[in-house]
Each structure stands twice: as structure tokens, then as C-alpha cells.
A and B are shown apart, each in its own frame.
Chain A
């Protein structure tokens, strides 16, 4: 055996396994190319996601803090409560204008106490440091607690949006000089107060719970009411779109005969899924408000419009989920004498539930973020300025929705609103995440092996 030489692969006509041939090299090259391409695509997506989240957080987080000025305000009984019996409904006669001088005086006194020199002789100029809504806040608190009258009480008053912007880096001395409202002297006073701890930035719960405010009070604007509007709309969508959508899917998939009519329905449902949402808005305006005379700007109508929009998005994946249930389960049920109804509702539907819920989650998320159709039925952002009076009222009283509120703020001139628009986006995303987590938990509960 030692004499014989082992034949080399190439000599016998076989190619050696040790060196790949040209074609194989080409195939491998293609493969690695595609891998790189895929990785690149994923990385690009990831990059943009990071940029998106970073910019949302960077721009939106400031909306969650607000600058307050702490001053002791003297509440003279002779001005606020002329009858002297501390009756809130009597005291209501004193409007916010009655409170303004008190605040102005409080500012002047505070500066004198703290030894801060100020060029302002008129308290009104000084009060530009504060929000236009500060007087109203003081009045609200006094009316809630009439015992405060006659005392000197420490108030945390909202600073004006410019002062707030100054501490958030949005406003600087140069831009103040160019503007009409504040002067650099205001900033000097503010800095002095800040040094003494009387101007402070702190967490702003008002942004989450509050209502929208008018154009000149961005510091008071909050998403609370429009968040509630979104919630009421989602309730309507869940109550209507989910049962109708699932029932339609079950009927079409399990019971409907295969004929031209059902084919037509099928095509139409698929087409509806591709209709721009604004079309549903105009449909809602015509059908629900002009024809059915439902109230304008009501979350009920918004919910109905979003229901129409969500239906195809629920029906299509629900049908796919029903179709995906293995035929063996259907046969098993029919084979022991289950009726079609029993087969569908006791076996097929439970098994399709996770898939159906996935479609529901996606369509709800979409409905939650929808803006355009809401604007057409009057759910514009500035409507969201009052809380509804009760649960049922929440469906019919004029309101907006979170995305419409964000859109509204992004349109307004004051950059303080722009910051709030970003903040609103954070709230919207968190709200969406909460709804989705709830839905995913539900889906998990339905998930079963077979």
C-alpha cells in the first residue's frame, strides 16, 4: 500500500473539496452581499428610530416641568369679600381683575423684602413675569377655601411662558430685547428671585391633567381634557368596531356562501382598508352630524368615524386568523356532532382569538393616532378647554383628541406651544403603549397550544 500514491482529486477528474469553484464563490458572494444589505436596512431603521425617540424626548421633556414664582399674597377681606360672610357664591362677584392688583402688590413687596432693586415702578410691568392666568389661579384657590381671605398666603404662581422659556433655554436676552413683552430688566429681576429660590422649575402635573388654554397662556395648557376625549373615543371604537368586525369576519369566513355577492363584499372591505382617513371624516360629517344630527365635536361621533375606519382593519386580519385554524380541529368538532355554530364559537374562534386581537391592537393604535377625520367633525384642539361633567357627558360634550390637540399646538405661533406639542406626543405614545400592553396581555391569556 505504501507504494501507491494517493490520487489527487484534480487528477481523477473530481474537483477538490478544499478549494471552492468559481460558481460557488459567486453564490457565496451573493449571500454575504444580501446579509450586509439586510443588516444595513435594519441598522438604518434602528438609527431613525433612535433619532425619533431622542428628538421626541429632547423636545418634549421640558413640557413636563414648569417655572413657578413663589410669593406671599395678602388677601384683603374688604376687597374680596365685601359682605364678610365668606360665602363663595357672593365672592364670585369679584372677577380676576380684582385679584390682579393683589398679585402686583405681592411682587413689589417681595422684591422690597428680598432687597432686590427693580427698575419697575408700576406693578403691572412687574406682573409680566407671571402668567396671565396667575390671577385666575389665585381666585380659584380662594373660592375653594374662603378661610384664606384676610390672611397672607404663600402662592406658587405660574411664571409667564417667556420666563419659563428663559429657564428652559428657549428664550435668551437677545430675543427678549427684540420682543415686545419682556425687557432684559425682567430677566434681571427673575435671576435675582431665582438666586433666592423664589423662582423654581418643578414637575408640571397640570400638563397631564389640565385643559387647553388660549393663545397667550401656553404655560397653562395641558393635555388632560383631550386625553379624556381620546379615551372616550377608544371606548366607542372598542364597543362597536370589535364586536361588529369580529362578527362580520366570522360570518364571511364560516357561514357565508361563496357567491358573487360575498365576493363583492370581500373586494369592498379590502378597498375600504385603503381609503384615506379624511374621507371617513367627511363621511362622518355628512352622515352623523348633518344627517343624524349628532352633536358636533363629540367623542361619540369621533368614535363612530374611527369605528368605520377600523372595521376593515379588524375584519381582514380576523378572517386570516380564522382561516389559519387547522382544519383538523373543525373536523374533530363536526365529527362528534357539533353544529356549525358550536364548532365556530367553541373551537375555531377561541383558537383564532390571538390573531384577531393582533388586528384589533393594530387598528386601535391607528385609531388612537388619527387626526384628519377628527378635524372635519369639529374635534379641533382648542375645543378641549373644559372637562366633561360626567361619564355620559364625556361622550357628547365637545372635546378634542390627543393628536388633534398636538396638531393644534403645533400650529400656534408661540414656541412655548411647540414644546407642548412635543410633550403631547410623549403622552400620546405612553397612552398608546398602555393600551397596547393591555391588549397584548389579553392576547396572551387567549393564546393556546395545539
Chain B
């Protein structure tokens, strides 16, 4: 609760000011994804800006999660998935043969739909990333990273007295914030969130949403959501996906108030989806 009050002072959800012309962090050009014979993503072009929350919305099965998972090459783990086209992170093709996805994922962190802390202590959960990437030289530095990450995830006050306890013993909302802290701890540049609130109650959802708004100051955040209200509340840019195509992409305000495409309008007004 303390954390909530703290974030309230910074910015209210929904009142996030539109950022002007941030530099492009991720550029996708002509991206196609195939699951076996199924053409899941069709020729998607998008420029995702830094220090911005970009929301992917669309009906179930529209490919928004699939596209998100292309951005840190999580689709590599699915044998039958094939990605074509270019995705550039700071101008470098992340699907280049020389790119090791492990290194990519250190820079592009991910938070999943279901909170999935490791069955280890809270401390070890957060410290895991810095440890495997060798970000620290000693225990003191690691302690600092853990504390800073937990603070960033608005979890420090609740977790500081139980760092040695298991991360799986926390509530759902706390677990998801722990996962955010874990992702943040590797000091990524981009944070991908795949429906991070869909398994949470409204209060926990509100906390996460405020957190996302704060994270925007340091990261490029991409969030997939089923909830249009959530997209409207947290994002500055919105992309609407439908049947594997990216139908429309633009400022969130514009997408929600004066969409150009009929399909976007239908979805937003609840006629499809």
C-alpha cells in the first residue's frame, strides 16, 4: 500500500502524457511468422519507441503474443516456429546468425502471463539474472542490485524482511512484481510483458499498471493485453492486431478516439473480438 501511495504522486494511470518523438528502439520490417504451415504473423512493420509503453491489443489468436515473443526470440524455443523479415534492436538485426539469443534476452527482458517465480528465495529470484550474466563483482553489489530492482518493482517494502523466504509463497500480485523485479535486475533496455495482469485481481492489476508507467522512465516497455481499458490506461502507443496482421498502429489516444481502420473501430467498440 505504501508503494501505491508513492507511485500515485508521480503519475496517475491514464494521465500519462504523450511523449514526443522518442528514438526508435525496435524496428520490425516485413515480419512473417509461421507455426508449421500456419501463417501466424503477416508482414508486420512497426517502430517501437524507447521510453514508451507500447500496447499490443487484439482478439484472441490474433498473433500479438507471437509477435511479442519474436522480439526476444522466445519463439526459437518452439521447434516448428519460423520467423522471416527483419527485427532491428538499435539498428542491429536480432535474427542475424551471429546473434546469440541468450545475449539478446539479457537486453530484452520478459514478464509472462502467469507469475512464474523460481521456487527459490525472493533474493535468489532477483539475483539470478545478475549472477548468470556476471553483472556484479561481489556480494555487496549484488545486494544493491537486488534492492534497487525490488524497489523498482515496488516490492521492496513488502519483501525486505523476507528476502530468504520462498518467492512462491507470495500472493499473485507480489509474485508478478517479483517477476518484474527479476526481469529488471538484468538491466535490460526493453521489457516485454505478455498479459502481465491477466491472472491478477483488480487491486494487484492497478499496482502493476502504476509500476509499468514508472518503468517507462527507464525502459522501452511493450505490453500485450486483452483489456482495452488497460491499454488505454498504461500505453502511449497502441498497435491493433487482427488475424495475424497489424491493422493499425499509432498514438493510443488516436487509436481509441479516432481509429482509421474499420476493424479497429469495431474491436474497440466491442463488435469483434
Q: Residues on A close to B: CB < 8 A?
A: 258, 326, 328-339, 342, 347, 351, 448-450
Contacts and interface: CB of A to CB of B under 8 A. Distances in A.
Given A328-B116, A449-B166, A450-B168, A336 B129 contact: yes
Contacts of A448: 119
B169 to A, nearest CB: 8
A450 B133 CA distance: 24
A335 B119 contact: no
Given A335-B183, A338-B132, A339-B102, 7 more contacts: A258-B79, A326-B116, A334-B74, A335-B74, A336-B128, A336-B185, A337-B102
Given A449-B166, A449-B168, A450-B168, A337 B114 contact: no
Contact of A337 (B106, B111, B119, B166): B106
A332 B103 contact: no
B112 A336 contact: no
Closest 3 interchain pairs by CB? A328-B116, A337-B106, A335-B110
B263 to A, nearest CB: 31
B105 A331 contact: no
Nearest to B168: A450
B120 to A, nearest CB: 8
A60 to B, nearest CB: 45
B146 interface: no
B186 A337 contact: yes
23 contacts: A326-B116, A331-B116, A332-B112, A332-B117, A332-B118, A332-B182, A333-B118, A335-B72, A335-B74, A335-B109, A335-B110, A335-B111, A336-B105, A336-B106, A336-B110, A336-B186, A337-B102, A337-B129, A337-B186, A351-B119, A449-B119, A449-B168, A450-B168
B116 A336 contact: no
B116 A332 contact: yes
A246 B112 CA distance: 30
Most B CB contacts (10 A, CB to CB) among A326, A329, A450 go to A450
A223 B257 CA distance: 88
Given A335-B74, A338-B132, A347 B118 contact: yes
Given A335-B72, A337-B105, A328 B118 contact: no
Nearest to A448: B119
A337 B182 CA distance: 11
B53 interface: no
B77 interface: yes
B57 interface: no
Contact of B114 (A328, A334, A335): A328
A450 B111 CA distance: 17
Interface of B: 72, 74, 77, 79, 102-106, 109-112, 114, 116-119, 128-129, 132-133, 166, 168, 179, 182-183, 185-186
A336 B119 contact: no
A329 B132 contact: no
Contacts of A342: 132
B77 A334 contact: yes
Contacts of B79: 258
Contacts of B182: 332, 336
B183 to A, nearest CB: 6
Contacts of B111: 335
Contacts of B118: 329, 332-333, 347, 450
Given A329-B118, A449-B119, A450-B168, A336 B109 contact: yes
Contact of A331 (B102, B112, B119): B112
B105 A335 contact: yes
Contacts of A326: 116
Contacts of B168: 449-450
Contacts of B102: 337-339
A336 B112 CA distance: 11
B116 A329 contact: yes
Nearest to A328: B116
Contacts of B117: 332
B211 to A, nearest CB: 18
B116 A337 contact: no
Contacts of A330: 77
A256 to B, nearest CB: 12
Nearest to A351: B119
A450 B119 CA distance: 5
B106 A335 contact: no
Contacts of B119: 329, 351, 448-450
Contacts of B106: 336-337
B179 A332 contact: yes
Contacts of A337: 102-106, 109, 129, 132-133, 186
A335 B110 CA distance: 5
A343 to B, nearest CB: 10
A6 to B, nearest CB: 45
B102, B117, B179: which has the most chain A beta carbons within 10 Å? B102
A335 B112 contact: yes
A86 B188 CA distance: 85
A282 to B, nearest CB: 40
A334 B110 CA distance: 9
Contacts of B185: 336
Contacts of A331: 74, 77, 110, 112, 116
Contacts of B77: 330-331, 334
Nearest to A450: B119
Contacts of A450: 118-119, 168
A448 B114 CA distance: 19
A372 B183 CA distance: 56
Nearest to B104: A337
Contacts of A334: 74, 77, 105
A403 B128 CA distance: 49
A333 B133 CA distance: 12
Nearest to B79: A258
A419 B222 CA distance: 76
A151 to B, nearest CB: 69
Contacts of A335: 72, 74, 105, 109-112, 183
A356 B52 CA distance: 46
Contacts of A347: 118
Contacts of A333: 118
A142 B218 CA distance: 89
A69 B52 CA distance: 96
A337 B74 CA distance: 10
A445 to B, nearest CB: 14
Nearest to A350: B119
Nearest to B80: A258
Nearest to A331: B112
B130 to A, nearest CB: 10
